[in-house]
Amino acid sequence: MAQQKIGRIQWGNLTFGPGSRYHVTAIEGLDDMPDIRSDDMERPGQHGDYTGPDYTGPRIIQLGLGLRADTPDELRDLTLALRAATQPQRQPAPFQLLDQDTLVYGKVRRRSIPYDAEYLWRTGSAALELYCADPYLYGLAEHSASTTAYSPAAGRTYPLAYSGVAPATNLVLNPSSEIDVTTDQQMYGPSITRARVTSDARYGDACVQHTHTAASSAGTTWTISPQAAGTVVQVGIWVKIPATGITSGQITWRSGTTTLNNFVLPSLPAAGAWVRITGSYTIGAGQTCDRIGVAFNSAINTVWWADAAMAVADTALPEYGDGSMTGYGWAWTGTPHDSTSSRTITGTGRTYGSAGESGRLAVTNSGSADAYPVLRLDGPVANPAIEQVNTGAGITLDATLADGEYVVIDTRTRAVLYMGTSPRRSWVRTGSAWPTLPPGTSTFAYRGTALPGSSGQASLLTITWRDTSL
């Protein structure tokens, strides 16, 4: 009897299946339907039930592995590597079936690696159970398509590329202090205290607050993935400083506690607002850079804040991103808030309206269940409206976005985030209906009012989604 090919499976840094030392011997729960949460009620005095909509519970995936080594020591190494990769998790992680174009997000809830002295010479076995609170099966590729808002039939020139969608990697391991200010962050300089606060932030919900206990030049360094000699490391850090108490600032590149380079800021950032300071340094011969940081020369009791640290091994510094910003194609490469982040969306495959037909966009969900798209609107535009033509669903925002401003709409969580971080759910006009992508092709229409003084209507709608099944 022919067997279905499972192929390769990626979990963290480990690959199971063909070409690896971990052979997949069994997998259950992947193609099964998760348990149903029903809303049925008995019909009093009649046969049958009243039935409501059915929803699935979490997906449970059980994976059997065979470990194949050449020596007992190598078998032990395989066991330890598997154990290290299946620790308790704070957040779900991607479980990727590379040859089946399938992705689920889950946590390892059970792990069994039995020991049998009679057979443990070069072979072993293991069993894992994955708990997927989100039961959906996603395609590996994240699709993205864009269109400008409706414009007259006279036509206009549309951009050939959309800024901010090139692949990128943020080398900083804990860039935004969402969890703590101790993991992969260090105090830099004397006479300062550091604390995680949620009263203010440039991205997310938290930032690191600095309080100088004496006049000093001090701040924070962040651990980055080590960079070798010859690498150009671009750094961007968002800071917020008071109007008085600070005389100068600097960005630093370090190897452990050894300073490789200090870049003195040519001027202080504007006070009372979040400002991104940037700098660049080419790692010198014989050097390795594993930290970047910021410090300000401040008087006693001066308080300032830092957030959203970014370092890239590139000649240009992109807009900030980390693995929590999944709506922009970012993902953690390992443990959330303790690993680098990568953005995999590229500028290819994007759709732009032709002259006289802008504002309409066709997107296809090749799965078998409704997908929840993420919508991004870039200004300048007033009262933007998105209509799903084939279903009648749509969202209108009672808001104005200037050039350089944007809003992100997550149709599953129903979050509306100005500049990707600040909640603006109140902007959604009463009567709006949140769109989803049923299997097949959906057509969207994007309309908005041009702002006075804007040349043409340059506002852009970008829809991001994955093929989705259950």
Please state the rounded mean pLDDT for residues 132-157.
Answer: 76
The number of angstroms, rounded, from the C-alpha of 87 to the middle of its chain's C-alpha atoms is 21
CATH number of 9-138: 2.40.30.200
- Give the angle subtended at the CA of 388 by the CAs of 383 and 393, to the nearest 5°: 80
Its CATH architecture, for the domain 168-342, is: Sandwich (2.60)
Strands annotated E in 133-206:
137-138, 143-148, 168-170, 185-188, 192-197
Residues near 399 by beta carbon (within 8 Å), at least 6 away in sequence: 382, 383, 384, 407, 424, 427
Outline which parts of the chain fall under CATH 2.40.30.200: 9-138
CATH number of 143-165+349-469: 2.60.120.860
Residues near 252 by beta carbon (within 8 Å), at least 6 away in sequence: 188, 221, 259, 260, 261, 262, 263, 291, 292, 293, 294, 295
Strand order in the sheet with 415-418: 143-148, 460-465, 374-378, 406-410, 415-418, 422-423
Q: Are 396 and 445 in contact (CB under 8 A)?
A: no
Please state the rounded mean pLDDT for residues 373-383.
Answer: 92
Separation of alpha carbons 333 and 73, rounded Å: 28
Outline which parts of the chain fall under CATH 2.60.120.860: 143-165+349-469
pLDDT of residue 157: 39
Outline which parts of the chain fall under CATH 2.60.120.260: 168-342
Peptide bond into 92 cis (omega under 30): no
> How does the average pLDDT of the chain come out, rounded?
87
pLDDT of residue 158: 40
Give the bridge partners for 62, in sequence order: 28, 129
Express each pLDDT in 86-134 by its tens digit. 999 999 999 999 989 999 999 999 999 988 766 667 888 999 999 999 9
The two tokens of residue 430 are: 């009463």
DSSP, collapsed to helix, strand or coil, labels residue 384 as: strand
The answer on pLDDT for 346 being more than 50 is: no
Q: Are 132 and 59 in contact (CB under 8 A)?
A: yes
For residue 435, the tally of other CB atoms under 10 A from its CB is: 24
The number of angstroms, rounded, from the C-alpha of 35 to the middle of its chain's C-alpha atoms is 29
Q: Are 147 and 458 in contact (CB under 8 A)?
A: no
pLDDT of residue 79: 93
Lowest mean pLDDT among 3-7, 18-22, 300-304: 3-7
The number of angstroms, rounded, from the C-alpha of 129 to the middle of its chain's C-alpha atoms is 25
Express each pLDDT in 163-221 by its tens digit. 445 688 999 999 988 888 888 889 998 999 999 998 888 887 789 999 999 999 999 99
pLDDT of residue 341: 93
Which residue type occupies 10?
A: Q
pLDDT of residue 199: 83
Number of H helices, E strands in the chain: 1, 37
Query: Which stretch of DSSP H or E encloses residue 86?
Result: none
pLDDT of residue 173: 94
Confidence of residue 358 (pLDDT cuts 50, 70, 90): low
Q: Are 293 and 221 in contact (CB under 8 A)?
A: yes
Distances (CA, A) of 148 to 138, 156, 449: 28, 10, 12
Name which of 93, 307, 87 is nearest 181 in CA terms.
307
